Amino acid sequence: MSIHHFAAGLKYDRDGLIPAVIQDAATGDVLMVGYMNQEAVSRTLEERRITFWSRSRRQFWVKGERSGNVQALVEARADCDLDCLLLRVDQSGPACHEGFRSCFYRSVGADGVLTEIAERIRRPEDMYGPGPGHE
């Protein structure tokens, strides 16, 4: 089966997207969740660099193209329903645009209060320059 055939066989939502859970292959930590369309899945599998579809900007983006915090694909897995991907990666630098290793750097307490449970690795302005910047 070719990469394109595999990508075409996945179950995308009504917007043509599939969620991709990004996991650190070395530690097992969940780093982030992004969305991919069929072409982003194919590009990711072919190029071995994580490529998402930005829902807000309506364009492709390769993780790390602006920040330098690259995610190199180690292994791709599909769930039993073929409607979600687990992408195990070698993460270079922080995965989170806020500068944390993982986007899941806060814990939700029983009272609903968020508490930071990790330290920031890099400041966003050091990754993206001054002003708002997301990959």
Residuewise pLDDT in 10s, the chain (135 residues): 799 999 999 999 999 999 999 999 999 999 999 999 999 999 999 999 999 999 999 999 999 888 889 999 999 999 999 999 999 999 999 999 999 999 999 999 999 999 999 999 988 888 877 765 555
What pLDDT, on a 0 to 100 scale, did the predictor assign at position 133? 53
> What's the rounded Cα separation, in Å, for the pair 64 and 85?
20
> What's the rounded Cα separation, in Å, for the pair 78 and 86?
6
> What's the rounded Cα separation, in Å, for the pair 77 and 98?
27
51 and 44 in contact (C-beta within 8 Å)? yes
What pLDDT, on a 0 to 100 scale, did the predictor assign at position 92? 93
- Taking CA atoms, 9 is separated from 12, 73, 79, 85, 95, in Å, by 9, 20, 13, 13, 28
Question: Regarding the domain delimited by 3-97, which CATH topology (the fold level of the hierarchy) does it fall under?
Answer: Ubiquitin-like (UB roll) (3.10.20)
Q: How far is C-alpha 109 from the geometric centre of its chain's CA atoms? A: 25
- The reported pTM is 0.89
> What's the rounded Cα separation, in Å, for the pair 48 and 33?
17
